[in-house]
Amino acid sequence: MSQVFDVAVLVGSLRKESFNLKIAKAAMQLAPPSLKLRLVDLSHLPMYNQDYDEASPAEFVRFRDEIRAADALLFLTPEYNRSMPGVLKNALDVGSRPYGQSVWNGKPSAVISSSMGGIGGFGANHHLRQSLAFLNTPMMLQPEAYIGGAHQLFDEAGTLQKAETREFLERFLASFANWVATVLANHH
């Protein structure tokens, strides 16, 4: 029996009808059997403050434990002002501290960005990748995932309706499953 990898899914939008959350939920259904995707809630994380390094709030401890338990990371981000949203950057900061105790280190990762516009969150995707490179999360470089026209992909129940996007996500997740297995095999 092949190994099943636990993947923490972090969505950079807190909006109830978030397109990125809908894509994350679709990915959870489309993932190959070797990936178990689980959403990690970012909505309750206080803003990072270095004063908390001495005595972290319970939300920080819970969040770090959730990420520490994961084998791999899947990030979904909208684009705010050509960058990732503050909630996602805050999560990266919380998980990277206290200094020398980063929960991100060595975990294979992938990034999906989406937006209503045609470039599909390109700026946010690359800013997030820049931070992930510093945090030493081995990133899947290809295929890249920029999903434009996100507002046209779902029905009223939030179900992904566009066959091409579903097929793309299936291929992306199959590549990610191979990436995760390869990275983790080389680290153990």
Walking along the chain (188 residues) 10 residues at a time, the average pLDDT comes out as 90 95 97 98 96 94 98 96 95 96 97 93 95 97 95 92 95 98 88
118 CB burial (10 A radius; 0-12, 13-18, 19+): exposed
DSSP class of 2: -
**Prior bond of 98 cis (ω within 30°):** yes
pLDDT value at residue 187: 76
The Cα 13–Cα 108 span in angstroms is 22
Please state the three-class secondary structure of 85-109 as a single string: CHHHHHHHHHHHCCCCCCCCCCCCE
185 CB burial (10 A radius; 0-12, 13-18, 19+): exposed
Tokens (6 digits) for 107 = 């975990």
Q: Which domains does the chain have, with CATH numbers?
A: 5-187 (3.40.50.360)
pLDDT value at residue 188: 61
> For residue 144, which amino acid is it?
E
pTM of the model: 0.96
